Structure 1
Amino acid sequence: MKSPPVMDPEAPPPPGTPPYDDEVWWAGGRSCQVFQRSNLVGAAHVLAVAVFLESRNAHVRRFSCDLGPEMCFCLCGCAVSSRPQEEEEKRGGRKGVPWRMTLSLAYQSLGVVYGDLSTSPLYVYKAAFAEDIQHSESNDEILGVLSFVFWTLTLVPLLKYVCVVLRADDHGEGGTFALYSLLCRHARAALLPPGRTAAGDEDQFLDGVGGGTKKANGNAATLGGGAAASVRRLLQRHKVLQRVLLVLALVGTCMVIGDGVLTPAISVFSAVSGLELSMEKEHHKYVELPIACIILVCLFALQHYGTHRVGFIFAPVVITWLLCISVIGVYNIIHWEPTVYRALSPYYMYKFLRKTQRGGWMSLGGILLCVTGSEAMFADLGHFNQLSIQIAFTCMVYPALILAYMGQAAYLCKHHILEGDYRIGFYVSVPERIRWPVMAIAILAAVVGSQAVITGTFSMIKQCTSLGCFPRVKIIHTSAKVHGQIYIPEINWILMILCLAVTIGFRNTKHLGNASGLAVITVMLVTTCLMSLVIVLCWHKSIFLAIGFIVFFGTIEALYFSAALIKFREGAWVPIVLALIFILIMCIWHYGTIKKYEFDVQSKVSINWLLGLSPNLGIVRVRGIGLIHTELETGIPAIFSHFVTNLPAFHQVLIFMCIKNVPIPHVRPEERFLVGRIGPKQYRIYRCIVRYGYHDFHKDDIEFEKELVCSVAEFIRSGSSKLNGMPEFDDEEQHMAVVRSNSIRMLEEEATTVEKTVGPSQASREIQSPSPSPTPVVVPKKRVRFVLPAASPKPNAGVQEELQELSDAREAGMAFILGHSHVKAKSGSSFFRRFVINFCYDFLRRNSRGPNYAVSIPHASTLEVGMMYYI
């Protein structure tokens, strides 16, 4: 093989440079430019490919590439997607999805996404008129409330979310953390530890691969990215702004969790409030609360079964509910007040505020409940697609809600004096003959809406855990077929206790509405702030457009936020307290994780220490594979030196494994494993970085072990460890390659061997009479062999020997070595630091799941090495 030329690391390779066999390496300075082509058949030359890996920052510069169907694999932390357009279609992407599938997704989204939003008519008017505003003969109050409801539904869910926010998906996923990870990759500014972030900007790889929209955006960034570059530099230079961005994302996340407590409470409580019209006022309050609590307990107790068992009835229930409130609304409009449509004029909002003044402004805290659940359109984007959610809202949900609110207003226009203020709710406008069936449908719709919010809370907790912002919890996937359906036992019971507490504590819609309203509007404000940055940094639009977006929608939401916040003492304190508790937990865990990682980096052992142990490492090598879990991507973790010092023996094949959660939703299976070699070949020591997106889930231990071993075997077979003139190992840089674990298959067969049983003890044999000959027994044994691709060339003797040793080690079994850390604040630390580390973080660490559960490894094969961390 020809030696590659030495080039300037800042200069791209010349166009038309022919490949050197299967790999080409350019080396110069501290930067390395690498590409590998998997399929050279039929390709005349490589046009111009270079991947620049700069030290530390892993900054990437992209050049045009023509490598046929299989794209280049980069050696930094992120992989190039080979067929992003096809991947988009598999996820229900923008183009190429048949209309039949889109309509099917729209139908399903009605049950999953819009359950919460569709039940808002149960409590909006009751919460709005809970203040000091009364009906009058002129109907200015009720028409003003209807006008606010109509324009709020039009501007926030329809204009903001359907037309704008849904387009800001993170590779098909939505939600607060999706926006945050999107901004972090484009701004290259994140406070997450390197084990939790991408090593490069993946979107830059995708720019030139998918063509079309991505490429156009990339060109727009090059031509008119002045504002984006300025904002990016501002975020990169000021750590304070990065912290503000992270705290903003955490606040939105915590408010979503708080909404998971409040939404089931207010939805179910409002649904059963129809009993107040069927019995005496002093009696119904003793029946309403127990029934609501029983429904809530059943709702949370059945979560572990998963939604896939009853999910097929979600959409029919919501559709039935929407049709029901639409028909009732049309009936009330025709029968009571056909001219109620005049309230659609914004003039009635002005008349309402002018007449009611402070009372009308405070009633906005109840009016904003009409948009509760709107954030679910964006948060659940990953389960559907943009077009299906837009169709479902504009064609079904939006018209039904408008008719329902207009119908209630038409009824109230002719009923100014009611027997009690508590009778201004939804059921008073329902004809008495159908009131009981409607209440039954309302309870089912409330349960469906609550189920969607609870599932969304589970997904949000999982995202936070994947990015290292929340303690590890037990995550159970309730469906093997439907992605994203998870159950978290600890969070489920915490939500149930909190939900019952607020239901029993408040016992009325007014206080529950005040609490829920503040949580809803806070999440919307956070989304507006993050979206304004997305417009500049990700979409490369004018900064004036971003300012206009945040001023227009921010003003509307700030008005509602002020009206909700002023009711702090009347229930609005609940989401604030819940958010403070959860954000405190997240910040403490994040701070402790960062400090622990920094200690790992400072305490890591140089590779020279490993090489200085003599060629045979000076220790005993036993059969089998030793898998060492570490947070480090380079160097030798301190736990390994601690282990070798106390027990000078380890397995014949050693793999340092790092689980890396990258801030993208999904990592393709063929790009999941990043494999490299540590030291000379005869040491048989490898490093493997396993990458997961924040929506990926870890597979079971058996399948994971097979894929891990196959990735190492593929690394050995493909010759990726040959550095073509470069040194085989380096103290500071580990040269690694993305390998496709499905290129090589591993077959495991059960075989039998005859072994002799162990007789009496050796010590007793010397003084006792000879014992009978041991009886041979048949012992099952696993036989492992690798099956190479049919078109692959025959490997040389060295590769065959290394693969044979790997298969022998696999036959002997795999052991997992984990570090069990005891974290303490170092001496001389302040009282606050000692309190946070020694008490708070240590409490969270001891009560969270360990890394052995996160990796799904068998406990019987686990060895924990304890170490004390002084941070």
Structure 2
Amino acid sequence: MTGTAVVIVFLVTTFLMILIMILVWRCHWILVLLFTGLSLIVECTYFSSVIFKVDQGGWVPLVIAGAFLIIMYVWHYGTLKRYEFEMHSKVSMAWILGLGPSLGLVRVPGIGLVYTELASGVPHIFSHFITNLPAIHSVVIFICVKYLPVYTVPEEERFLVKRIGPKNFHMFRCVARYGYKDLHKKDDDFEKKLFDNLFMFVRLESMMEGCSDSDEYSLCEQQTQQSRDTFLNNNGNTSSPNMDSTISSLDSIVALKYPPHVNISIRSSAQVSSNTEVDELEFLNQCRDAGVVHILGNTIVRASRDSRLYKKIAVNYIYAFLRKICRENSVIFNVPHESLLNVGQIFYV
């Protein structure tokens, strides 16, 4: 019986090692085949010896392995169905734009952090939320935490921020990327880093608004990098003491290449962008001071009524039990309980 357990451990380790060599280490296929062949020779030798001892008690580890295989398959099946449901039921941008800046609701002060598994699009849990509640926060940020097949992700590349819809909607998407060595639950400054990157995105976006021509791109790229460095040095401070000097530098450089009337138009555009940037940063700071709420979706999977008996047992009982004993998303995402809001919905497979 001990030999059977050893063989099972060997087989699982070998298959996982193959995945790591292909996806993470990106080894050459010849090296992968060589490792697989040598490992299977040793493991098949052990496995053949175990097969001849089934009548002597070797069947017990095989039954245990089969039970674990069923559990893992049911977990994978339920998780895959949940993800497919979220992918196919995403809210269209046309529907969001049709609601208007207020989203057809009362926009209350504060920031709502909506956690989702989708790196693109608006999740269905958001439409479910605003359909059943009469109000939504003034700023909505969709957060997607993704683990990449790399050792670690540098801090400066951790967050990817994008705006959703027009500016007056005040909706953003943030993808937080981690490597398999990074632990999101130990990222105590996650919320602070998130807002620092959001403020930096607003500033960079404002700097790039006046750069529509190809000749202006390199110039605005230099100014954008200067603004980025200034922002990081100020540790996310929303005030812009160097904005006047940035605009002056912009005027002096542009004056060498463009006529005076073009210089005036670019200067006016830069001043408008600066004012818009400061106004939005102040608005974000006010909403942050009003309170931050973490909104988690709790999607419950159920088998449809016309499903077969084995599917009902697998989905309604085994998968539901596994979801119950697993760690909650609030623990995984390190969400404070005093600002946590769970939004549940049921769908049938």
TM-score class, shorter-chain normalisation, is 0.7 to 0.9
Structure 2 counterpart of 1:604, from 78, 85, 90: 90
The 1:799/1:840 distance shift into structure 2, 3 A limit, reads: same
Q: Indicate whether 1:522 and 2:4 are aligned.
A: no
The AA in structure 1 aligned to 2:128 is H
Secondary structure of the structure 2 residue equivalent to 1:718? helix
Structure 1 segment 100-111 matched on structure 2, within 5 A: none
The 1:790/1:605 distance shift into structure 2, 3 A limit, reads: same
The 1:574/1:679 distance shift into structure 2, 3 A limit, reads: same
Measured against aligned partners, the alpha-carbon deviations of 1:611-644 in whole angstroms (never above 9, x if no partner) come to: 1113433322111111111122222222222221
Structure 1 counterpart of 2:175, from 689, 694, 710: 689
Q: Indicate whether 1:621 and 2:110 are aligned.
A: no
The AA in structure 1 aligned to 2:190 is F
Shift of 1:790: 7.6
Shift of 1:725: 6.0
The 1:854/1:790 distance shift into structure 2, 3 A limit, reads: farther
Measured against aligned partners, the alpha-carbon deviations of 1:259-309 in whole angstroms (never above 9, x if no partner) come to: xxxxxxxxxxxxxxxxxxxxxxxxxxxxxxxxxxxxxxxxxxxxxxxxxxx
Shift of 1:554: 3.2
TM-score by length of 2: 0.75
Structure 1 counterpart of 2:318, from 828, 835, 840: 840
The AA in structure 1 aligned to 2:6 is G
1:528–1:550: 8 Å Cα contact kept in structure 2? no
Shift of 1:656: 0.8
The AA in structure 1 aligned to 2:173 is R
Alignment RMSD (CA, Å): 3.5
Which residue of the partner structure matches residue 307 of structure 2?
Answer: 829
Structure 2 counterpart of 1:592, from 68, 73, 78: 78
Secondary structure of the structure 2 residue equivalent to 1:655? strand
Which residue of the partner structure matches residue 867 of structure 1?
Answer: 345
Task: Give the distance between the partners of 1:853 and 1:721, measured in 2 at CA.
Answer: 38
2:102–2:169: 8 Å Cα contact kept in structure 1? yes
Which residue of the partner structure matches residue 146 of structure 2?
Answer: 660
Which residue of the partner structure matches residue 786 of structure 1?
Answer: 238
Task: Give the distance between the partners of 1:639 and 1:633, measured in 2 at CA.
Answer: 14
2:110–2:138: 8 Å Cα contact kept in structure 1? yes
Q: Indicate whether 1:710 and 2:215 are aligned.
A: no
Shift of 1:798: 1.0
Structure 2 counterpart of 1:854, from 322, 325, 332: 332
Measured against aligned partners, the alpha-carbon deviations of 1:116-165 in whole angstroms (never above 9, x if no partner) come to: xxxxxxxxxxxxxxxxxxxxxxxxxxxxxxxxxxxxxxxxxxxxxxxxxx
Which residue of the partner structure matches residue 650 of structure 1?
Answer: 136
Secondary structure of the structure 2 residue equivalent to 1:585? helix
Higher Rg of the two aligned structures: 1
1:675–1:711: 8 Å Cα contact kept in structure 2? yes
2:82–2:299: 8 Å Cα contact kept in structure 1? no
The 1:721/1:660 distance shift into structure 2, 3 A limit, reads: farther
Which residue of the partner structure matches residue 560 of structure 1?
Answer: 46
Measured against aligned partners, the alpha-carbon deviations of 1:566-621 in whole angstroms (never above 9, x if no partner) come to: 34455644543443333322221111111111111222211111111134333221
Structure 1 segment 766-785 matched on structure 2, within 5 A: 785=237
Task: Give the distance between the partners of 1:691 and 1:607, measured in 2 at CA.
Answer: 24
Task: Give the distance between the partners of 1:530 and 1:633, measured in 2 at CA.
Answer: 24
1:744–1:787: 8 Å Cα contact kept in structure 2? no
1:714–1:744: 8 Å Cα contact kept in structure 2? no
Which residue of the partner structure matches residue 157 of structure 1?
Answer: none
The AA in structure 2 aligned to 1:592 is G
The AA in structure 2 aligned to 1:808 is Q
2:152–2:182: 8 Å Cα contact kept in structure 1? yes
Measured against aligned partners, the alpha-carbon deviations of 1:171-217 in whole angstroms (never above 9, x if no partner) come to: xxxxxxxxxxxxxxxxxxxxxxxxxxxxxxxxxxxxxxxxxxxxxxx
Structure 1 segment 390-469 matched on structure 2, within 5 A: none
Task: Give the distance between the partners of 1:712 and 1:590, measured in 2 at CA.
Answer: 34
Task: Give the distance between the partners of 2:190 and 2:18, measured in 1 at CA.
Answer: 40
Structure 1 counterpart of 2:298, from 796, 799, 820: 820
Shift of 1:702: 5.0
2:162–2:174: 8 Å Cα contact kept in structure 1? yes
The 1:830/1:745 distance shift into structure 2, 3 A limit, reads: farther
Structure 1 counterpart of 2:67, from 578, 581, 590: 581
Give % identity. 41
Secondary structure of the structure 2 residue equivalent to 1:688? strand
The alignment of Structure 1 onto Structure 2 pairs a total of residues equal to 306
The AA in structure 2 aligned to 1:809 is C
2:10–2:43: 8 Å Cα contact kept in structure 1? yes
Q: Indicate whether 1:678 and 2:167 are aligned.
A: no
Task: Answer 1 or 2: which has greater strand percent.
Answer: 2
Which residue of the partner structure matches residue 232 of structure 2?
Answer: 743
The AA in structure 1 aligned to 2:202 is I
Structure 1 segment 39-188 matched on structure 2, within 5 A: none
The AA in structure 2 aligned to 1:840 is I
Measured against aligned partners, the alpha-carbon deviations of 1:440-474 in whole angstroms (never above 9, x if no partner) come to: xxxxxxxxxxxxxxxxxxxxxxxxxxxxxxxxxxx
1:824–1:870: 8 Å Cα contact kept in structure 2? yes
Task: Give the distance between the partners of 2:82 and 2:126, measured in 1 at CA.
Answer: 16
Structure 1 segment 242-261 matched on structure 2, within 5 A: none
1:744–1:786: 8 Å Cα contact kept in structure 2? no
1:665–1:695: 8 Å Cα contact kept in structure 2? yes
Shift of 1:682: 1.4
Measured against aligned partners, the alpha-carbon deviations of 1:476-500 in whole angstroms (never above 9, x if no partner) come to: xxxxxxxxxxxxxxxxxxxxxxxxx
Task: Give the distance between the partners of 1:615 and 1:529, measured in 2 at CA.
Answer: 50
The 1:643/1:522 distance shift into structure 2, 3 A limit, reads: closer
The 1:803/1:830 distance shift into structure 2, 3 A limit, reads: same
Measured against aligned partners, the alpha-carbon deviations of 1:387-440 in whole angstroms (never above 9, x if no partner) come to: xxxxxxxxxxxxxxxxxxxxxxxxxxxxxxxxxxxxxxxxxxxxxxxxxxxxxx
The 1:793/1:564 distance shift into structure 2, 3 A limit, reads: farther
Shift of 1:826: 2.7
Secondary structure of the structure 1 residue equivalent to 2:205? coil
The 1:519/1:826 distance shift into structure 2, 3 A limit, reads: closer
The 1:659/1:720 distance shift into structure 2, 3 A limit, reads: farther
The 1:852/1:806 distance shift into structure 2, 3 A limit, reads: same
Secondary structure of the structure 2 residue equivalent to 1:627? strand
Task: Give the distance between the partners of 1:646 and 1:529, measured in 2 at CA.
Answer: 47
Structure 2 counterpart of 1:797, from 270, 275, 280: 275
The 1:857/1:745 distance shift into structure 2, 3 A limit, reads: farther
Shift of 1:517: 3.3
5+ long unaligned stretches in structure 1: 1-510, 727-738, 748-784
Shift of 1:814: 0.5
The AA in structure 2 aligned to 1:661 is Y
The 1:684/1:746 distance shift into structure 2, 3 A limit, reads: farther
Secondary structure of the structure 1 residue equivalent to 2:297? strand
The 1:788/1:831 distance shift into structure 2, 3 A limit, reads: farther
The AA in structure 1 aligned to 2:232 is S
Task: Give the distance between the partners of 1:823 and 1:815, measured in 2 at CA.
Answer: 25
The 1:520/1:809 distance shift into structure 2, 3 A limit, reads: same
Secondary structure of the structure 1 residue equivalent to 2:184? coil
Task: Give the distance between the partners of 1:745 and 1:583, measured in 2 at CA.
Answer: 53
Which residue of the partner structure matches residue 118 of structure 1?
Answer: none
Task: Give the distance between the partners of 1:527 and 1:603, measured in 2 at CA.
Answer: 33
